[in-house]
Amino acid sequence: MNFYIIIPAHNEEAYIGKTLQSLIQQTKSPKQVVVVNDNSTDNTQSIAEDYATKYPWISVINSKSSNKHIPGSKIVNAFYKGLESLDGNYDVICKFDADLIFPKNYLEVLSCHFHTNNKLGMASGFCYIEKKGDWVLENLTNIDHIRGALKAYRKDCFNQIGKLKRSMGWDTVDELLAKYYGWEILTDESLHVKHLKPTGNSYNKDSKYLQGEAMYKMRYGFMITLISALKLALKKKSLRLFKDYISGYFKAKSHNIDFLVSEEEGIFIRNLRWKGVLKKFY
């Protein structure tokens, strides 16, 4: 299977070389890797270009955007910049972060999963972070959720869900829509990916309300938002975040911000979320 990989990168000079090196060392090589240098002010571009001169399947393009590290539209816009530079001859399209070290068999194992299951729409391994010299699971979400840092989509699934939404919540609504269209999601616990910069470490303070806004835009409704916000805040060990998430939800509602999904898709998403909540108790 042909794997195309897009890596948005903003000021990642400390990590981008390690990420590219781990992709070079894969037992199954990707067909194309595009690094989108997104308004970096450090040596990200020169490091990536050095790899591109040595490996013809690596390329670098530049994108101008905000210098603030805000989750959501910024990273997805950079992803689309990379996608525009590629042809359509891929079987799997990947959006990877620029601060990951992949095990050598990562793409080979994913390829096997996609090859053996025609209904598999998305797949990934797990992110691990370093704590006191040990690499431990970065436990921010359910184990059946694919982290935004390492998304891999089958081409047909990617197109059917409408590709990626230019909004905070893109890395949740993609899975929900994949399930709506009957695709399966897989997370392989054997694939341990080193996440060199833990999630949210460099997020701008302006982003604190965006998670709640995303819950509104995915048509969660208040009760599911309340439960999801509390769960996420507890995982991050910050009740202040719970307040921010709920505030973001009501701000979005008061401004009648456009939804990311249709009404029918919203009904499916709420039912799916309620099933997940009830499953915890029974």
Instruction: Look at residue 237 in the predicted model and tell me its pLDDT.
Output: 83
Tens of pLDDT, residue by residue over 186-221, are 999 999 999 999 765 444 555 778 999 999 999 999
What separation in angstroms does the CA of 102 have from each of 99, 118, 125, 201?
10, 24, 9, 20
Residue 71: predicted pLDDT = 60
pLDDT of residue 17: 98
pTM over 0.85: yes
Q: Where are the domains of the chain?
A: 3-195, 206-281
| pLDDT on residue 198 | 78
Token pair, residue 226, equals 């309340």
**pLDDT at position 205, please?**
52
Q: Which residue has the tokens 């050598």?
A: 104
Residue 137, pLDDT > 60, answer yes
Token pair, residue 184, equals 């399966």
The pLDDT-based confidence of 66 (bands split at 50, 70, 90) is low
Residue 276 token pair:
């997940």
Is 179 a residue whose pLDDT tops 90? yes
Q: What does the radius of gyration of the chain's CA atoms come to, in whole angstroms?
A: 18
pLDDT at 279 over 90: no
Range from 113-122, 139-148, 167-176 carrying the lowest mean pLDDT = 139-148
What's CA 88's distance to the chain center, in Å? 21
User: For the segment 21-41, what is each residue's pLDDT rounded down to a tens digit?
Assistant: 999 999 999 999 999 999 999
pLDDT score of 40: 93
- Bigger pLDDT: 276 vs 53: 53
Cα–Cα distance, 212 to 229 (Å, whole number)? 7
Question: Which CATH code of 3.40.50.300, 3.40.50.720, 3.40.50.1100, 3.90.550.10 fits the domain covering 3-195?
Answer: 3.90.550.10
